[in-house]
Structure 1
Amino acid sequence: MDIRQLIDTTRMTTYQWFIIGLACFLNALDGYDLVAMAFTSSSVSEEFGLSGAQLGWLLSSALIGIGIGSFLLAPLADRYGRKKLILAALSIDLVGLTMSAFSDSYGELLFWRVITGIGVGGILACVTVVVSEFTNLRFRGLATSIYSAGYGLGASLCGVLAAQFIPTYGWESIFLTGAVLTAVSLVATVIFLPESVDYLRAQGREDDVRSIARRIGKGVDFTVAPPAPAPERSNLREILSGPWLATTLKLWVAFSLITAGFNFANQWTPKLLTEYGLSAQQGIIGGIMLSFGGTIGSLIYGVLTTRIDARRTLVAFSLLSAVVLVGFITAASWPMVMFALGVGVGMLLNGCVTGMYTVTPQAYPSALRTTGVGSAIGISRAGAVLAPIVVGYLLDAGWSPVALYTGAAVLVSLTAVALVGVREHRVAVVTQPVSPEVPEPVRS
């Protein structure tokens, strides 16, 4: 069989799971990087004398950078290789974190946070595809969920370190710690992460494909057939034309809605709980419950996809998220019930994000995969950036926390509608006519 079929249908090896673990670590760094500004916002605001609007832009700056990085870097990965672009993105991230720590003004910090986001955007698009390409069909959803769980772990680590480091070493220490961790990940990626076999196969580099196959424990008993004919260059025009147009637009809408709901809940929950009448400490605990639930949600989603279609699981998660969002805020008068529902909100919304990272790469052929994922992530940044800003305006206009959570619930539930008709792309590689055979079941 072909190398792609071999990876898709044979058991996962130890090295393949190690690659998933490395991807989880890289995503944990992304989670750390993205919440670093939130945990340092009070200290930064005090030092630079920031207004609420300035702080809002500062909190959104890395998200803006992610959109830029996803659009600019992701298509290059389909042309020059996944690993090369991951290394380039990590280098950009390292520079952004380091310079953020040494920023002397609001303008400098804003600029370097955008640069950090560009690196994170490139990492997200490329690593998501690598996870999909090095996992067999049966455990692809679970592998993606393990990878996605890293975000919550990294965000939690940042919060713990912020509580310990900022009073003693200042807000700069959080960015410097992130830079050190990124440098470690850069070295680990150089040493341990192989290049994508799908990319190498498309380039006709058979010797490199066989070398990586031996490295991940697949031996050499396979063919390296060329993939189905694909465009010479991977760009947005290809995924916005022909049979890919409808799929791309649906994924863009779904990704944007989920991202908007996710960022609304994670960024505004502490503040909205205090607006509802709870103490600041209770607001913080509510935010922590969402982060904790997020890590669990990724794993639960992944386990479910080993038995249930990934898209159907995502639809169910989005509808349940809408219900629990409303229940969470209406239970604020009973803090213990609210905290329990907060875990559910984090679990379901993070499961939805994991679902989008699972479903999106499956919808495209190899040559368009990174461009498809990168563009979806880039478009979804609009929801990520706009949601916190719009909520601020609505709150000033007199919207209650219950009304805001209900509005977010409606948006999240519309994801189920947007995903109607999205299917996994499958292309069988056949070197010569053969009789149909029933493939052996995948065993772990």
Structure 2
Amino acid sequence: MRGETALERLSTTPSTTSQWWVIGLCMLFNVIDGLDVMAMAFTASRVAAEWALNGAQLGLLLSASLVGMALGSLLAAPRADRFGRRPLLLAGLLLSGLGMLLSFWSPDHHVLMFLRLLTGIGTGAVLVGANVLTFEHASPQRRNLAVALQSLAFAMGASLGGVLAHGLNDLMGWRYVFLAGGCITLVAALAGVFWLRESPSFLALEHRAPIPPLSPDDVSRPFSAGQWQQTLSLALALFLLMFCFYFVMSWTPALLVDNGFTDQQGARIGMLLALGGMLGALFLGLAANRFGCRRLLSGFLLLDAALLPLMVPASHVPGLAALVAVTLGLMLNGAVAALFVLAPQAFCTSVRTTGVGVVLAMGRLGAIISPVVAGFLLDAGWTAQHLFMFFAGSQVLAVLLIRRGTRER
């Protein structure tokens, strides 16, 4: 196909300034995505206090954007294979920006929940679009690094969102966190209108006129003969990885406090997990060309499985707990970055965004149910050690899926 020829032609040339400009814009969009997604987590206590929310109501608020991200990845992505990656990105930024902005005027938690759902749909579309656009602009010598940097940018956005939220919460109130996030997102969308370029491989495709209406077949194409095994393996592997990732990020500080840590020590472990995460994405991007992304992913997942059962015993030695936390964060985020690199490789240009959308949507599903499953198991009498061992098993299963069902190009 002409799209694949364009991608191969790009593979023979080094990355240019204009290509890195697009990749940099996609990184900026992912930074803002991270800020938008985490805004609710950073304001949850203030929102709950203002509207006297119970745990179930607050949980729904926190989950709404994750549900939206899954919908955005699954339902919006096929349109990018028909109309372009650039329109998907810009529409996603516009929707998430408006969702954040309107949240400032939310009269109650029902309206805020709906707006968080819309924000999530927008951010889900942006994540898919940025991943594919970066893959299709970067030369192969820098492609792994460029895609991995998108994962790092999302984590950086979540961290910067915490700093922004802390300041605005204390000075002006939780609503201004959403107001600031919405304005920043809409300014980024405006920058994209002027400076974001479409994928060369998408432009090279032979378009049929008129374009037929979207149908259920567009989502089913990643499961066609010869393709379904890779799609299913990547999707289930990301589901299991995000299932473990969100357990570790959501529950580890609290579980360590229950095992003797102070609140400050628990919070410090959470920060070390995030710091290790950014280092993991960068390491993957730099090392993937030399060692192979698929091989690194298998190693990261196996090390995750080995480190998780050590978290509770290490809690009795604070220095050791910090080392385990940084290493575990590095491995988990390195594995996420590796799957983000492998996903666009698995699909041809005409179905790439749809396929990546299916994979990322399954990952979001794992993120949504992970904290709930952990809470249910704790209520059923499981100990922290049992939980860490259970989630370690999910990583071993992910390794088997990757080794049996995927290939690297």
TM-score normalised by structure 2 residue count? 0.94
Question: Which of residues 99, 104, 120 in structure 2 aligns to 1:101?
Answer: 104
Indicate whether 1:387 and 2:367 are aligned. no
1:267 paired with 2:250, answer: yes
Query: What are the within-5 Å matches in structure 2 for residues 23-422 of structure 1?
Result: 23-203=26-206, 235-419=218-402, 420-422=404-406
Q: Offset of 1:350 from its aligned partner?
A: 0.8
Conserved 8 A contact 2:293-2:408: no
SS of residue in 2 equivalent to 1:399: coil
Instruction: Give the distance between the partners of 1:314 and 1:407, measured in 2 at CA.
Output: 20
Equivalent-residue separation in structure 1 for 2:235 and 2:32 (angstroms): 25
Q: Report the alpha carbon displacement of residue 413 of structure 1 after superposing the two structures with TM.
A: 2.3
Measure the CA separation in 1 of the matches of 2:254 and 2:104.
26
Q: Distance in 2 between matches of 1:154 and 1:310?
A: 24
More helix by share: 2
- Could you tell me how far 1:424 is from its partner in structure 2? 3.6
User: Unpaired runs of 5+ in structure 2?
Assistant: 209-214
Query: Would you say the 8 A contact 1:125–1:377 is kept in 2?
Result: yes
- Partner Cα separation in structure 2 for residue 180 and residue 336 of structure 1: 41
Q: Which amino acid in 2 is paired with 1:307?
A: R
Equivalenced residue count is: 400
Deviation at 1:91, TM superposition (A): 0.8
Q: Are the counterparts in 1 of residues 98 and 186 from structure 2 also a CA contact under 8 Å? A: no
Q: Deviations over 1:385-415 (max 9, x none)?
A: 1001111111122222221111111112221
Amino acid at match of 1:141: N
Please report how far the alpha carbon of residue 184 of structure 1 lies from its aligned counterpart in structure 2 after TM superposition. Answer: 1.9
Secondary structure class of the residue paired with 2:291? coil
1:131–1:383: structure 2 CA closer, same or farther, 3 Å change rule? same
Kindly state the Cα deviation for residue 325 of structure 1 after the two structures are TM-superposed: 2.1
RMSD: 1.9
Instruction: Tell me the alpha carbon deviations over residues 9-35 of structure 1, each in whole angstroms, 9 at most, x when there is no partner.
Output: 211112222222211111111111121
| Structure-2 residue corresponding to 1:223 | none
CA distance in 2, matches of 1:45, 1:334: 35
Does 1:13 pair with 2:16? yes
CA displacement at 1:343 relative to structure 2: 1.3
Question: What is the letter of the counterpart of residue 265 of structure 1?
Answer: V
Answer yes or no: is the 8 Å Cα contact 1:36–1:174 preserved in 2.
yes
Separation of aligned partners in 1, 2:329 and 2:281? 10
Indicate if the aligned counterparts of 2:70 and 2:124 stay in contact, CA closer than 8 A. Answer: yes
Kindly indicate whether the alpha-carbon contact (under 8 Å) linking 2:300 and 2:335 is maintained by their aligned counterparts in 1.
Answer: yes
Deviation at 1:4, TM superposition (A): 2.3
2:245 is paired with a residue of what secondary structure?
Answer: helix
Give the aligned partner of residue 211 of structure 2: none
Distance 2:59 2:260 in 1: 23
* Equivalent AA in structure 2 for residue 261 of structure 1: C
Distance across 1 between alignment mates of 2:341 and 2:77: 17
Question: Which amino acid in structure 1 is aligned with residue 136 of structure 2?
Answer: E
Structure number with bigger Rg: 1
Structure 1: unaligned runs, 5 residues or longer: 206-231, 426-444
What is the letter of the counterpart of residue 42 of structure 1? S
Checking the alignment, whether the CA contact within 8 Å between 1:79 and 1:234 is kept in structure 2 is: no
> Identity rate of aligned residues, in percent?
39
In structure 1, distance between residues paired with 2:178 and 2:21: 27
The one-letter amino acid of 2:72's match is G
**Letter aligned with residue 289 of structure 2:** T
- Give 1:5 deviation, angstroms: 2.1
Structure 1 residue 233, shift from structure 2 partner: 9.8
Q: Which residue identity is paired with 2:41?
A: A
Post-superposition CA distance 1:244-271 (Å, at most 9, x none): 1111111111010011111111122222
Distance 1:102 1:271, change over 3 A: farther
What's the secondary structure of 1:292's corresponding residue? helix
CA distance in 1, matches of 2:165, 2:278: 19
